[in-house]
């Protein structure tokens, strides 16, 4: 902090030569150190600087306690909790071998997810409102900025359950709510998919050995929004609204899936040329299941809706062809291919995590959502095919995802209660300065 003070006049006898060669000279201030007023002034300035530093450290210590610590250290990765919790509620609701008791459990998990999302959104709003400088530090951090994609994906799971649970109970009002939220989710997803990868190119110090599968997080967001659009379009009463939603969802799918394939190629190169990721981020090897599982589910769901919407709206039917059926068949074929590709990455993931133990952190939520969307694709294939294999396999993986969710949730509650999970790496390089109010307390005026 720079301080302002008026230079003290010095008598001629106290002046020194420019080279500071006199025995009593002080070249730092350009005056004789034997002048009592100058010595007192220097001591006073030093005392004021110490007071400012003490006040700043006290304020900084206060910010690192209580609710302020939670707000300042609340990273975007917490929205991965919504992703994991939301996909569990969806799987329990759509379980092939279902029952009323599972339905009500899915509703309870859905309500919990909504409460968590509102809480996390409120804390995040306070974080960037009270401490706006943290936003820039977070965007410049090579890992934390990638988790911005978890926000729209967590919201998408809530929109899905609004369609599954609230629309049958509340009717048209719930449909309007889901459709409105979906447009908002679509906009945020596109923003994450476009801006965050560009930030990786321009703001981050990237290298192949530093890359993780977390690069996929902002890119998967529009893929999730596309699948959600297919679910919302299925309940829209206006065929034109449904058509707009389906077409927009196809565009979203085309935005995310090809770019995700590019990242998977780079990630495979990283794994083969460098090595497996460090144990701290070992669970990130499951993230490739996300774009493959959700991409397969989404393209299959969009084809299913297009088969009903396109003939109704006479879309692409000039030559009396049912374009919706064509899209449905193409969607199923692409979903099957992506499902098979996901099996390859699942093998890599399971083989990787069995090689060494890894500590618990928020990255453990990378278990639930990627496995969950892969399971959702499996269940959907079971509905479209006359095969019990996908029904049985989907049920087994659904229960496995639910078990993983319980384990990770318990560990997360414990970590949150002890405060160990409230650590924001992006704050380490944050250069915070004392506020003006802190300067006034000790009578010092900052520049």
Give me the half-sphere count of Cα atoms (radius 13 Å) on the Cβ side of residue 412.
20
Q: What is the mean pLDDT of residues 398-426?
A: 90
Write down all domains in the chain, each with its CATH number in brackets. Answer: 60-421 (1.50.10.150)
Which comes out higher in pLDDT, residue 287 or 319? 287
Residue 434 pLDDT > 80, yes or no?
no
Q: What confidence tier does 99 reach under pLDDT thresholds 50, 70, 90? A: confident
Neighbouring CB atoms inside 10 A of 32's CB total 18
395 close to 95: Cβ distance less than 8 angstroms: yes
Which comes out higher in pLDDT, residue 32 or 150? 150
Give the pLDDT confidence score for residue 4 in this predicted structure. 41
How do residues 324-348 score in pLDDT, each as one tens digit? 899 999 999 999 999 999 999 999 9
Give the pLDDT confidence score for residue 447 in this predicted structure. 35
Specify which residues 25 forms β-bridges with: 32
Give the pLDDT confidence score for residue 421 in this predicted structure. 86
Give the pLDDT confidence score for residue 403 in this predicted structure. 95
Q: What confidence tier does 440 reach under pLDDT thresholds 50, 70, 90? A: very low
Q: Report the C-alpha gap between 244 and 183 in whole angstroms.
A: 11
Q: What is the mean pLDDT of the chain?
A: 84
Q: What confidence tier does 278 reach under pLDDT thresholds 50, 70, 90? A: confident
346 close to 374: Cβ distance less than 8 angstroms: yes
Give the pLDDT confidence score for residue 17 in this predicted structure. 41
Of 399, 279, 397, 282, the residue nearest 348 (C-alpha): 282
Specify which residues 32 forms β-bridges with: 25
Strands 25-26 and 31-32: antiparallel
How do residues 35-78 score in pLDDT, each as one tens digit? 556 666 766 766 666 665 555 444 555 556 678 889 999 999 99
Give the pLDDT confidence score for residue 375 in this predicted structure. 96
Which comes out higher in pLDDT, residue 426 or 170? 170
How do residues 109-149 score in pLDDT, each as one tens digit? 999 999 999 999 999 999 999 999 999 999 999 889 999 99
Give the pLDDT confidence score for residue 204 in this predicted structure. 84
Q: Phi-psi region for residue 6, left (φ > 0), alpha (ψ -120 to 50) or beta? A: beta
Q: Report the C-alpha gap between 361 and 377 in whole angstroms.
A: 27
Angle between helices 172-202 and 217-233 (to 10 degrees): 160
Report the C-alpha dihedral over residues 263, 266, 272, 276, rounded to 10 degrees: -50
Give the pLDDT confidence score for residue 42 in this predicted structure. 67
Give the pLDDT confidence score for residue 276 in this predicted structure. 86
How do residues 364-383 score in pLDDT, each as one tens digit? 888 899 999 999 999 999 99
Give the pLDDT confidence score for residue 302 in this predicted structure. 97
pTM to 2 decimal places: 0.81
């Amino acid at each position: 902090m720079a301080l302002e003070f008026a230079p003290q006049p010095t008598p001629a006898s106290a002046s020194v030569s420019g080279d500071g060669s006199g025995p009593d000279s002080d070249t730092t201030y350009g005056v004789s150190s034997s002048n009592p007023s100058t010595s007192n002034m220097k001591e006073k300035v030093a005392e004021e600087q110490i007071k400012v530093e003490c006040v700043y450290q006290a304020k900084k210590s206060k910010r690192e306690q209580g609710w302020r610590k939670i707000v300042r250290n609340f990273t975007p990765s917490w929205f991965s909790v919504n992703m994991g919790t939301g996909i569990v509620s969806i799987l329990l609701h759509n379980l092939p071998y279902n029952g009323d008791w599972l339905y009500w459990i899915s509703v309870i998990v859905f309500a919990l997810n909504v409460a968590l999302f509102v809480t996390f959104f409120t804390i995040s709003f306070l974080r960037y409102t009270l401490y706006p400088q943290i936003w820039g530090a977070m965007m410049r951090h090579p890992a934390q900025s990638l988790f911005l994609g978890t926000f729209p994906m967590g919201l998408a799971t809530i929109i899905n359950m609004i369609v599954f649970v609230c629309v049958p109970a509340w009717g048209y009002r719930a449909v309007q709510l889901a459709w409105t939220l979906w447009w908002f989710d679509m906009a945020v997803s596109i923003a994450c998919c476009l801006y965050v990868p560009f930030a990786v190119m321009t703001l981050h110090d990237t290298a192949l050995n530093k890359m993780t599968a977390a690069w996929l997080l902002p890119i998967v967001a529009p893929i999730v929004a596309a699948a959600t659009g297919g679910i919302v379009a299925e309940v829209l009463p206006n065929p034109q609204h449904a058509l707009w939603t389906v077409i927009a969802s196809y565009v979203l799918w085309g935005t995310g899936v090809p770019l995700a394939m590019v990242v998977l190629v780079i990630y495979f190169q990283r794994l083969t040329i460098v090595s497996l990721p460090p144990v701290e981020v070992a669970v990130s090897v499951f993230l490739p299941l996300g774009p493959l599982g959700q991409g397969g589910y989404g393209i299959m769901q969009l084809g299913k809706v297009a088969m009903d919407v396109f003939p109704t709206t006479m879309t692409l039917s000039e030559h009396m062809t049912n374009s919706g059926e064509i899209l449905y068949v193409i969607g199923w074929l692409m979903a099957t291919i992506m499902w098979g590709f996901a099996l390859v990455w699942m093998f890599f993931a399971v083989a990787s995590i069995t090689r060494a133990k890894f500590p618990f952190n928020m990255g453990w939520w990378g278990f639930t959502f990627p496995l969950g969307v892969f399971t959702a694709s499996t269940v959907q294939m079971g509905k479209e095919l006359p095969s019990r294999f996908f029904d049985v396999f989907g049920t087994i993986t659904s229960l496995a995802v639910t078990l993983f969710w319980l384990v990770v949730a318990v560990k997360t509650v414990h970590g949150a209660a002890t405060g160990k999970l409230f650590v924001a790496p992006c704050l380490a390089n944050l250069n915070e300065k004392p506020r003006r109010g802190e300067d006034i307390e000790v009578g010092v005026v900052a520049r």
